[in-house]
Structure 1
């Protein structure tokens, strides 16, 4: 498991030549989506193996659909477990969402914040953990609409905490997603962060977001981290202490040197808070 002060970078294939050449590396660990690597062989698989020997690797799933209604894909879970074991992955995370309706929708869709949804998704998380043979962390997701709930609805923070408790799993706290949702729906991002249980937080994510034509904030991971997200990250450290923190960039990917500046800002943010607490 990366140390509390570790800084990570999302592994994207476009970056692999620079990641392999980076010496010293500006990151402490890398994160990949096993969905994009299970079954991959040849030169690409060997490049990933080289990187995972050099640097701790964490994994962040995309297609498990923990909130869906179709049975969990046990064959895929078994293949994922083999991948995690091969690369000595200590942290595997997935999204608190659903993404299939008989076929992959290629979108991480939010769940209704209801007691019924808590029971449903928590049971599926426990099933996934049993097959994977390890605890997983679930990520709070960005959303652009609020699904109707059958029965009473609850605030998002209460919903996330209820799932964590019933599933007995960990949390990957995506700071950018908290900010995006607060801006889109008028919530209090700082209060959401403070409401999360410190003992469950395994890792943090930061990323950049875009505005669409209507002014909606969209979690694209295609821009540098916004100043409001940097401020919220500092608040997260003040509330919960340092946690391994990963920078995501999925498109418009700049050279590694540019990403290294953002990685350094994560380090500086954590170091400043650590000195203040000493």
Structure 2
């Protein structure tokens, strides 16, 4: 691996345990301004205080969230987007470049691909182009890989999730983000088929803090490299404490009850 890419990766993946906590904040393009992300500077600051390894956002929000003080946190610039206002919301298109990410100080860039979408070929082509540019610039690439389309019966099926992860790594991703399969054994199979770190998505808002922490705990026990979790973190009423609890699980191997105590539940 090129030294430049290794240096950048170590800003978003802990060099000691090779795990990471990423907080996606790209929701505004897809669904509009959401609770928890109205004041971006406050949101990023809270995640940094809590111990997030990196935040992820579109290029335009960096100017609204850059901080000249406080704890540092890694930056991932998201390069693909769509909105819920279109009938083709699952078709993502590139809205940025690796070069723009470099100009904005990114430690990594990310691309979203929905396998099974009628326009899958376009998203795969975009992933390939970004991966090539990342190699040229020694920039780490996070691939968000999901199965969403008319022929996909269950996007959480372990075989489907494993396929998504494998596509990401085969096309050049340095980190792959997928849905959690629901149990440790099946997720261990997903991880074993990848030679790069695999992180889980947070998905829709969960019913309880315990449910969030349990999923993260089980994914780590199965060999996962951490989480890329948005709404379940930044919309939590005690989000700084929740981030500290996630850090305890991901980086300190804490049990769920220990982590819950950090949140105060």
Report the TM-score when normalising by structure 1: 0.57
The answer to whether the 8 A contact 1:8-1:246 is kept is: yes
The answer to whether residue 96 in structure 2 is matched with residue 77 in structure 1 is yes
The answer on whether the counterparts of 2:21 and 2:228 sit within 8 Å (CA) in structure 1 is: yes
Mapped to 1, the partners of 2:215 and 2:200 lie a distance apart of 11
Q: Aligned with 1:89: secondary structure?
A: coil
Structure 2 residue aligned with 1:210:
none
Which residue matches 1:104?
A: none
TM-score normalised by the chain length of structure 2: 0.59
Q: Which residue of 2 aligns with 1:105?
A: none
Match of 2:240 in 1: 260
Aligned equivalent of 1:191, options 183, 186, 191? 186
C-alpha distance in structure 2 between counterparts of 1:10 and 1:165, whole Å: 20
Please report how far the alpha carbon of residue 139 of structure 1 lies from its aligned counterpart in structure 2 after TM superposition. 1.7
Q: For residues 132-143 of structure 1, what are the structure 2 equivalents within 5 Å?
A: 132=134, 133=137, 134-141=139-146, 143=148
C-alpha deviations, 1:160-185, integer Å up to 9, x for none? 244135312234334xx325xx6xxx
Matching residue within 14, 36, 57 for 1:33: 57
Q: CA RMSD in A?
A: 4.4
Q: 210, 223, 241: which one pairs with 1:240?
A: 223
Whose Rg is larger? 1
Shift of 1:138: 1.4
Matched ranges for 1:170-249 at <5 A: 170-174=174-178, 177-179=179-181, 190-196=185-191, 197-201=193-197, 204-207=199-202, 219-220=203-204, 222-223=205-206, 227-240=210-223, 243-249=225-231
Q: Distance in 1 between matches of 2:48 and 2:161?
A: 39
Structure 2: unaligned runs, 5 residues or longer: 1-10, 26-35, 83-87, 256-265
C-alpha separation in 2, matches of 1:229 and 1:23: 16
Separation of aligned partners in 1, 2:72 and 2:180: 32
Runs of 4+ in 1 over 6 A off after TM superposition: none
Alpha-carbon distance between aligned partners in 2 of 1:198 and 1:274, rounded to the nearest angstrom: 25
1:240 aligns to what SS in structure 2? Answer: coil
Say whether residues 1:128 and 2:146 are aligned partners.
no
Residues 113-147 of structure 1 show CA distances to partners (whole Å, capped at 9, x for unaligned) of 9xxx6x7754432212234543422123375x652
User: What 5-or-longer segments of structure 1 have no aligned partner?
Assistant: 98-109, 183-187, 208-218
Distance in structure 1 (CA, Å) of the matches to 2:53 and 2:40 = 14
CA 231–261 in structure 1, closer or farther in 2 if over 3 Å, else same: same
Q: Is the 8 A contact 1:190 1:232 kept in 2?
A: no
